[in-house]
Amino acid sequence: WERPDAIPFRQRLLVVANRLPVSAVRRGEESWSLEVSAGGLVTALLGVKEFEARWIGWAGVNVPDEAGQRALTKALAEKRCIPVFLDEDIVHQYYNGYCNNILWPLFHYLGLPQEDRLATTRSFQSQFAAYKKANQMFADVVNQHYEEGDVVWCHDYHLMFLPKCLKDYNSKMKVGWFLHTPFPSSEIHRTLPSRSELLRAVLAADLVGFHTYDYARHFVSACTRILGLEGTPEGVEDQGRLTRVAAFPIGIDSDRFIRALEVPQVQEHIRELKERFAGRKVMLGVDRLDMIKGIPQKILAFEKFLEENSSWRDKVVLLQIAVPTRTDVPEYQKLTSQVHEIVGRINGRFGTLTAVPIHHLDRSLDFHALCALYAVTDVALVTSLRDGMNLVSYEFVACQDSKKGVLILSEFAGAAQSLGAGAILVNPWNITEVAASIGQALNMSAEEREKRHWHNFGHVTTHTAQEWAETFVSELNDTVVEAQLRIRQ
Ligand code: ADQ
């Protein structure tokens, strides 16, 4: 017999991110179909059993009419999702403009293309105004649904202004903010015209989290150098109020990948792939087709390897799976053509009538197909020019139980700090070095591969997505309690 009051209390967690984890398609005036997209954040939070999570975000569609908004809100409620409705102009200025054209390249140390630079400089103020307005719209929705005791967890560079908007509503709200990208050196952040306002807005949160200790350190030094505040081992202090700043490296739901390898459909895929590439070593790249992922650099390094190692030419194949993103942006269209051009040239140069060295697919793969590919891979190549963490490297490691394949990993990905001892670390800009690492990986002894694999596998299976989410939220709860105690003293 269990008394009703013994039923465990589950704290409500309001997860606020730019996009909801569902895609909505309008079927009629008041009817919508929804498809849940199982990204890393969704699986991370599904695994957190102590909290009752609700999502707040943009549904990715423009819904100008009230009837449509009502119907979508109702449909989303069944998935524990709450929409923020943004009109086309705001999306253009806030999302395409300030978020993707300014913050994204800046945080990844990429300059804007020359022709865009002046245009962006001119439209900067209006885009920043739209950014603040959009963040305020998110805050309005959070505030409508907030209940005392809830934890509010804001995600990513789209919502840097949100902690301030929320605390303006209610200074007692427990607010955490986590950045999924790198936070750049303060020298880079200083170039942003809205540098101070953004930092102050983030500091309104109780807890600020990053993937690595380096990003946290960069953030603290931006606050000390730009705002003149005091950095402490716990975070940043402003007139007696502490904002706790710390590293919370994300992980994956490793069990989900390990279990998938037992699924008959995946085993069938694995058999087909092994047959298809029999007699050749398989190298793999899986990325969103984004400037930051260093895809051209990776392919050029592979070309150099083939150039210098003629005996490997018909014994190795590179499979590059690249999901197109932001396809309406000219820079991304240029990147796609550039990659196609390089792949075509190399296949023309080293291909034969029966085989080509590179298979490049511009598309997303379903979960099972992806797991099968990871499982048959001998060498995974991650050459990000900058990357907050990079979950592909974790997913590859989780699926390598039988192969014990080698991971070549960019030193500029956050994952280099956790998987560095097991991977071969490279500077992706140095294609001679990457080409040499491909040779090292392909020729590595079974003992060494095994040793490196176990190091990485141990990390990936212990530092999971669930552990990441639980640690962040419990740290946020503790931070708020400690702050209250400090005030009482
Ligand atoms: P992303 O830049 O999207 O994430 P990443 O961490 O590698 O980068 O995650 C990509 C996800 O998309 C992986 O789960 C991968 O399986 C999937 N994916 C990629 N290409 C795919 C394809 N062709 N088909 C199917 N699935 C594909 C941002 C930051 C990262 C940070 C994460 C999480 O840029 O640095 O690690 O958030 O915080």
Q: Measuring CA to CA, which residue among 357, 349, 360, 276 is closest to residue 322?
A: 360
pLDDT of residue 448: 98
370 within ligand 1 shell (Cβ under 6 A) = yes
Distance 40 CA to ligand 1 centre (A): 8
DSSP lists the bridge partners of residue 408 as: 381, 424
466-475 per-position pLDDT tens digit: 899 999 999 9
pLDDT of residue 480: 85
Q: Measuring CA to CA, which residue among 350, 353, 360 is closest to residue 312?
A: 350
- Which tops the pLDDT comparison, 101 or 348? 348
Both tokens of residue 36? 């849940």
Cβ–Cβ < 8 Å for 318, 357 = yes
pLDDT of residue 35: 86
Nearest CA to ligand 1 atom 8: 390
Q: Label residue 328 exposed, middle or buried (CB < 10 Å: 0-12, 13-18, 19+).
A: exposed
Q: Label residue 337 exposed, middle or buried (CB < 10 Å: 0-12, 13-18, 19+).
A: exposed
389 within ligand 1 shell (Cβ under 6 A) = yes
Q: Measuring CA to CA, which residue among 154, 22, 41, 16 is closest to residue 389?
A: 41
SS3 annotation, 31-82? EEEEEECCCHHHHHHHCCCCEEEEEEEECCCCCCCHHHHHHHHHHHHCCCEE
Q: How many helices (H) and strands (E) does the chain have?
A: 19, 17
369 within ligand 1 shell (Cβ under 6 A) = no
25-37 per-position pLDDT tens digit: 899 888 999 988 7
226 within ligand 1 shell (Cβ under 6 A) = no
Dmax (CA) of the chain = 79
pLDDT of residue 51: 83
Cβ–Cβ < 8 Å for 20, 60 = yes
Both tokens of residue 449? 């591969």
In which residue are the tokens 């946290």 written?
A: 216
What is the overall mean pLDDT for the chain? Answer: 93
User: How many other C-beta atoms lie within 10 A of the C-beta of residue 38?
Assistant: 13
Distance 323 CA to ligand 1 centre (A): 10
Nearest CA to ligand 1 atom 28: 180
156 within ligand 1 shell (Cβ under 6 A) = no
**What is the C-alpha to C-alpha distance for residues 214 and 191, in angstroms, rounded to an integer?**
19
pLDDT of residue 331: 84
Collapsing DSSP states into helix, strand and coil, what is residue 308? helix
Q: What is the CA radius of gyration of the chain?
A: 24
- Which tops the pLDDT comparison, 60 or 435? 435
Collapsing DSSP states into helix, strand and coil, what is residue 221? helix
Closest-lying ligand 1 atom to the alpha carbon of residue 287: 20
385-425 per-position pLDDT tens digit: 999 999 999 999 999 988 999 999 999 999 999 999 999 99
Q: Is the pLDDT of residue 428 over 70?
A: yes
Q: Please provide residue 2's backbone torsions phi and psi, each rounded to the nearest 5 degrees.
A: -120, 125
**What is the C-alpha to C-alpha distance for residues 182 and 212, in angstroms, rounded to an integer?**
8
Amino acid, res. 14: L
294-326 per-position pLDDT tens digit: 999 999 999 999 999 999 999 999 999 998 888
**What is the C-alpha to C-alpha distance for residues 79 and 436, in angstroms, rounded to an integer?**
49
In which residue are the tokens 């008394």 written?
A: 3
Distance 148 CA to ligand 1 centre (A): 34
Q: Give the ipTM of the model, two decimals please.
A: 0.98
User: How do strand 235-238 and strand 230-232 relate by DSSP bridges?
Assistant: antiparallel
Helix-, strand-, coil-residue percentages of the chain, each rounded to 5: 50, 20, 30
Cβ–Cβ < 8 Å for 279, 249 = no
Q: Please provide residue 160's backbone torsions phi and psi, each rounded to the nearest 5 degrees.
A: -75, -20
215-264 per-position pLDDT tens digit: 999 999 999 999 999 999 999 999 999 999 999 999 999 999 999 999 99
- Which tops the pLDDT comparison, 331 or 174? 174
Confidence of residue 17 (pLDDT cuts 50, 70, 90): very high
pLDDT of residue 329: 81
- The beta-carbon contacts of 63-66 under 8 Å, at least 24 apart in sequence, are 63/26, 65/29
395 within ligand 1 shell (Cβ under 6 A) = yes
Give the list of residues 6+ apart from residue 478 with CB closer than 8 angstroms, or none: none
181 within ligand 1 shell (Cβ under 6 A) = yes
Confidence of residue 328 (pLDDT cuts 50, 70, 90): confident
253 within ligand 1 shell (Cβ under 6 A) = no
pLDDT of residue 112: 62
